Structure 1
Amino acid sequence: MTTDQAEQGAFVRAPLGVQERITADGSSPWPVEAGRYRLVVARACPWANRTVIVRRLLGLEDAFSLGIAGPLHDERSWRFHNDPGDKDPVLGIEYLGEAYRAADPDYSAGVTVPAMVEIASGKVVSNDYANMTLDFSTQWTAFHRDGAPDLYPEALRAEIDEINEGVFHDVNNGVYKCGFATSQEAYDKAYTALFRRLDLLADRLATRRYLMGDTITEADVRLWVTLARFDAVYHGHFKCNRSKLSEMPVLWAYARDLFQTPGFGDTIDFAQIKQHYYGVHHQVNPSGVVPLGPDLRNWLDPHDREQLGGRPFGDGTPPGPVREGERVPPLS
């Protein structure tokens, strides 16, 4: 995540510095190859959370390993401060920035997660979060598990892309536009767009279980990672406070439905999410104090979305248990 500021106090997300892609068709320098890469994420980051969910739903755990940076970082980048010796056990680095500089000693753009790193060279291959999960669905098919769902069905791609575009600008990035705005005009514009989009999404989801109908797709993954963080951080920390998610009945039930679906809630660590946002964004929260609330056990309340029918994984099956070393603390 990056925090460039534009004119008139509006937040503009900085461009990515390593936009290569890993492909199966020879269209990039980086081929799909099991065991060659390590996906580096942070539990706190919604963009990284998308990749963790899709990797798990598709069963790609054996195709590429998972490195998890801690929730705190400084000007030197994301740090593996939750790992033994403060180093990633596979890459042997303390800061993710080391892998970026291995790829380019003069690298000066943002050090972001998610990042795919070539294990042998220690070089970042890609931080292209916009396409990474799509490539998991379309380029890594040889390594999908039996029963993997089709998260990006060809017949629906144009509609999924259209929904994702609006969700990105107004919701995924919209909460940041609210939180990092430095003028009232920029904040008001972002706030209005955010809740207008959420109202439209609620209308869409009032009569269908998922954004595309009966089954989970890439569109649901992208929306859900922002909804999952809404009450814990965006409502207060980023001033997205027209209403809490838990006060928006359709979206709240939809979000709980997915939270209770294997592959979603079992990727969420609310403690790390709060530690990151409140502990790192000093321009928003100078004290660094992390709030104790809200009580998040209501994520386990019944959602009753089954009444809309649908099959979460379509013709596929749920993913298996979370791998050892990748589990998150359960809600208590």
Structure 2
Amino acid sequence: MISLKNISKKFSTKQGTIVAVEEVNLDIKKGEIFGIIGYSGAGKSTLIRLLNGLEKPTSGEIIVNNEDITKINEVKLRQVRQKVSMIFQHFNLLWSRTVEENIAFPLEIAGIPPAQRSQRVKELIDLVGLEGRGHYYPSQLSGGQKQRVGIARALANRPEVLLCDEATSALDPETTDSILDLLVSINAKLGLTIVLITHEMQVIQKICGRVAVMEKGHVVEEGNVLDVFQNPQQTITKRFVSQVSDSNKALQTIQQLKELYPNGKLIKLVFVGEQAVQPILSRLIKQFDLEVNIVQGNISHTQTGAFGTLILQLEGEALLIDDAIRYIHEQKVNTEVINND
């Protein structure tokens, strides 16, 4: 669906050349929700603007539906943009227009007759859950409702790709969840490919199937969201995963337990998919004569399955502890013994 090949983007300034994106290679599949995460300055906003031709790359190729958009003229680029729509952090609505008129705006530009526009607007208002608010102005809407208008407007011309540029960053957590649920619903109903950029791992966790992590213009890690949660490779990825797992708090507790139980062993269990709902802990307690203290437990749900972590303190005979750890391994649970030094 979308393929980026050795994409770089450089900006010339009075202070010199700024490299915003460097040698990025990505493949985004048709119909998936793909996340791009990074902190401010990572290059993710520049990257998403490259996907619909709002920015031209300095080098590389961007293939959208078998079309290299870096090599087409403006007429063909405008046609491509009709199939690659975008929603923004601050909504970008026309404040002098009603909800209906905002949604109809791209249809007007496309020359769609009034009767067809009206029918399409009604469909979209129903789709995004704004029934009864068609005649409202943006100033009369909540933040979540404004973003729903933005989504409806982006869908007006029946795009194949929806780009989301920090689309939930201006919203409170509850409203964020409702907008993310709406995007998942739209993805399922329309088969729409969604590319979402964010600096919040909770957003990636909730709706994305795959994720690319950006730092200083580079994609430093990429993969299935569940795999990234289970085994983050880069320091920055571990920081993002800790937003959800609260591992910093766990480490503080671990340090305390090292002092309280110097002769025991601390182990971290990582559960993935069906493992996350298996009663492994109760089986462990029944089969082994050990003191088992739960330090921390957490289960997160992603689009591709559940991911859980459990930190235990095992105290008892050394051979029994080793047998217990082997038993956990046999259950295909990723186990890490935390150094008690």
Where relative contact order (Cα < 8 A, 6+ residues apart) is larger, the structure is 1
Greater share of residues in strand: 2
What TM-score results when the alignment is normalised by the length of structure 1?
0.28
